[in-house]
Amino acid sequence: MSEEPSTTFISKKKPGRPRKSTCSSSSAITGIVTKPISPTNMIEIVYSNPIYLKKIIGLYKGYTCTSVFINFDSTTVTMFAIDHQGKVHIYTCINASCINAYYCKSPLMVVATRSDLDIVFNVVNKTTNEISLIFEENKTSTMIILIHNKEYNITEKFEIPVQEIHSDAIPKPPNCSDYPISFKISSKSLKDRLGNVNKTDVKTIFIQKCGNEPLQIMCDTNRISWAGVYNDPQKIDFKSKLTENEIFNVCVNVDSLYDFANNILGNDVIITADKHKKLSFMTYLDECRENVYAIHINVFIEIINYAS
């Protein structure tokens, strides 16, 4: 992370309103802190890789999500969104110990309009070196977002309306550890293959494992039949709980995959499948230390058949 000057956002006091508190920028990763930078703040987040958050908001936009649920607790920030058809559930978890600073006086869950977040994150680019999210005491209907740009040493301030909601508004994700198969491929590989499939009239993709045969991903069109056979299970870190002669087959709508694949969020994608539950696509962003990441994204996509 690049070194940056200490900044404080200063604005003229508006009549009848107290001055808004702000966070000073810091490039050091201190993680969870016990005191806020401003004593009037109940939640403070300082993060020096805002481009990753922009990618996540872009993913929500690609799936035409209307609302984004955000839950702040003592150690994590969890974001949740549903696509416009209700078939794709997107969970994002931010590990507070891996970001520059995180203070949470008490748990809070709010819902924001995705289009408002689009406006905020449109200003984030390669020269944006820090973002702060702030909630002031007794003002949970407004989320303050500060974005610092190192090129012009400018801090832009946004205040967006949010609604405080009950903590059970986010449904619990499926337990992927119970899924019978999982494998890992690179994000680029997933994008390339889906891009090639997109040139045909294919609507669905099958993931199949038959007994001792290798894992296959395949599809059929009116003209072309395609199958990718993964002959070396070690190269895809394949894990299975299937019995020796068990036939496993799931099918998913291709359109549900494009927005995830085209974003290329993390380097790799872990795909986990069950014949009776949503298909899971999991990736990680911003490695703060070996095999420990600041952001964990899990996209659950509804399957369209339960073939055995």
Of the residues 168, 199, 217, which one is the last residue of a structural domain?
A: 168
Q: Identify the CA nearest to 1 among candidates 52, 39, 38, 41.
A: 52
**Span 142-162, mean pLDDT?**
95
Task: Tell me: pLDDT of 18 over 60.
Answer: no
Establish if 46 belongs to a structural domain. Answer: yes
Q: Which domain holds residue 59?
A: 41-168
pLDDT digit string, tens, across residues 117-145: 999 999 999 999 999 999 999 999 999 99
Residue 201 scores a pLDDT above 90: no
- Residue 261: predicted pLDDT: 86
**What is the predicted pLDDT for the residue at 227?**
85
pLDDT band at residue 27 under the 50/70/90 scheme: low
In a shared domain, residues 265 and 223: yes
| pLDDT score of 21 | 45
In a domain, 32, yes or no: no
Specify the pLDDT at position 234: 96
The enclosing domain of 156 has a CATH number of 3.10.150.10
**CA distance linking residue 273 with residue 175, whole number of Å:** 11
Residue 306 predicted with pLDDT over 70: no
Distances (CA, A) of 130 to 92, 124, 145, 194, 203: 19, 9, 11, 34, 41
Query: Does residue 82 carry a pLDDT above 50?
Result: yes
What value does the mean pLDDT take over residues 156-173?
91
Which tokens in the block code for residue 277? Answer: 């539950």
- 94: in domain: yes
Q: Is the pLDDT of residue 159 over 50?
A: yes
Structural contact between residues 254 and 197, judged by C-beta atoms closer than 8 angstroms:
yes
Q: Among positive and negative, which fits the CA dihedral 53, 55, 58, 63?
A: negative
Model pTM score: 0.87
CA 103, CA 122: separation in Å to the nearest integer? 26
* Mean pLDDT within 171-183: 92
Q: What is the pLDDT of residues 238-289, one digit of tens each?
A: 999 998 889 999 999 888 888 888 887 899 999 999 999 999 999 999 998 8
81's tokens: 């969104």
Selection from 134, 98, 149 nearest residue 296 by Cα: 98
Domain presence at residue 238: yes
What is the SS3 assignment for 184?
A: strand
Q: Could you read off the pLDDT of 202-236 as tens digits, one per residue?
A: 778 899 999 889 999 988 666 777 888 999 999 99
Residue 252 in any domain: the answer is yes
Does residue 13 register a pLDDT over 90?
A: no
Q: Are 153 and 115 contained in the same domain? A: yes
Could you give the number of structural domains in the chain? 2
